[in-house]
Amino acid sequence: MLRRMRQEQISEVPPEVVPEPKPAGREASVARELPPAPWGFLRYRDKAEPVFAIDRNPWRIGRSKGNDLILRDLSVSRRHAEILLLEDGGLELVDLESLNGVFVNDDRVSRIRLRDGDRVDIGDVRLHFTLKDPG
């Protein structure tokens, strides 16, 4: 019953999103050689809404400045989650102990390997993960 109520609250209407400017030289601090970026994408729906390239390691999601994807929604914590590039080239989504949690395909997770087509809920904001640029 509680899960059904939560699903009704999930919004596929994007909140105000502010892309964080990328400071020069951040990639230079990575110790090992990384494969060419981006490694994956987050988007809102199949419409021509913004598509966000996952092009840093780690790639952070939250409500405050300093995140790579800033979601201005009160259900999103200031530092909500991050996506990590794994040694084998896969991507792992990690909940940073957020209040409202991270859900992948309707299951609450603390960390999970992302797969093409996964539905990712950050608080009440629904995103879709894809390996290919949907643009």
Cβ burial of 90 (10 Å; 0-12, 13-18, 19+) is middle
Task: Find the mean pLDDT for residues 18-43.
Answer: 63
- Residue 23: per-residue pLDDT: 54
Cβ burial of 113 (10 Å; 0-12, 13-18, 19+) is middle
pLDDT, one tens digit per residue, over 55-67 is 999 999 999 999 9
- Structure tokens belonging to residue 73: 């929604």
pLDDT, one tens digit per residue, over 106-133 is 999 999 999 999 999 999 999 999 998 8
Q: Give me the residue spans of the domains in the chain.
A: 2-21+55-130
In the CATH hierarchy, which top-level class contains the domain 2-21+55-130?
Answer: mainly beta
Q: Is the peptide bond before 38 cis (omega within 30 degrees of 0)?
A: yes
What is the rounded distance in angstroms from the CA atom of residue 54 to the CA atom of residue 1?
A: 34
